[in-house]
Chains A and B, each alone.
Chain A
Amino acid sequence: MMTTASSNRWALANVFSVNDFDLLARMTLLLLVMYNDSYLFSDSSEAQFSLFVLTIAVLGLIFQGLLRSERYWFIVAAAQGAWIVMQYNTMDNHKYLLAYWLMAFWLAVRASESETMEILRWNARILLGLAMAWAVVWKGVLTPEYLDSSFFHMTILTDPRLEHVVGFFGAIGPEVIQQNQDTMAVLGQSVRNGTPVREVVLASSNGIAALAHFVTYSTLMLEAGLAALMFTPGWGSTLTWLRHSALIAFLVTTYWAVPVVGFGWLLIIMGLALCPPSFRALRVAYVVLFLALQLRLFLI
């Protein structure tokens, strides 16, 4: 619940002279503007619709009065929802999560002012917990090739996005990864050209097998731990530190490896929403991560 003006202000929010709700709202709209889709490079009807979402997000960033408007957030959430419905099968998961988060904004603004932040925090915690829980169900229950580390073994060997991770651990040389990528490309070409190559062997090493095992189980444990921490009620100091440490560890390891900035930003915004006013170091950490994730795109 928001009580006094002073309790609503965070350390960094003070720097930017905005309260916590406005900061979260602006970061969310910025996410909509920058990472919702590549609408500028397509003329499809779906792309044009996402341009509409972009436009109303820009309006919210310009006109501060809109941030407290129930109608405004309803339009933003409904537009994002409608855009997803138009191509629900091919839409990335974080765009769904963003739609739920926008829905939470609408419901929060719709409620009394004293409940606004309470509703946002609740939704941030439960939505984060549910997203992680579903990810754990997929990895730990529904997909055998994840648990035997096949998934990460092949992904490490062939996904160009993970080259620097493999290089960091020194498990295999970059020339071998390049060779595997070429091999997979030729396999794809063979199918498309109707030529008879239908199987290939990838180059690997014992180091890769060990790395794949490590990544498989550390990811699963981190996501399971995060889900459990989000579902555990309470705001005690230890629980808060554990919750945010786990989320920050997930953000750093996941998005250092694969910089899906849209997803990363959304999780950061939700983490920031959960951050108690007295935990200034955590708040700074989230804002630094928000900026670092963008910089990461240019650095690696």
Chain B
Amino acid sequence: MGITDFIQNFALQFEETDTTLFTSETRFHELEEWSSILALSIIAMVDEEYGIRLKGADIRSSTTIEDLYNIVKSRM
């Protein structure tokens, strides 16, 4: 799993946000489209793509996409 692939999968969960806004440094909680449903979608995506079960606290404690990526990577 590479971070580029992770960011791409992360961005795919969004419908309205410009894909160019997604980088490893993106503070995803601050995105206009960010919502509870997207939090769940990210949990589902990580489970499906990487076989890792994230918890809500993992998402809350992450600021950037890279933070979340590092959590996922550490559990693989």
A in complex with B: no
Q: Which of A's residues lie within 8 Å of B, judged by CB? A: none
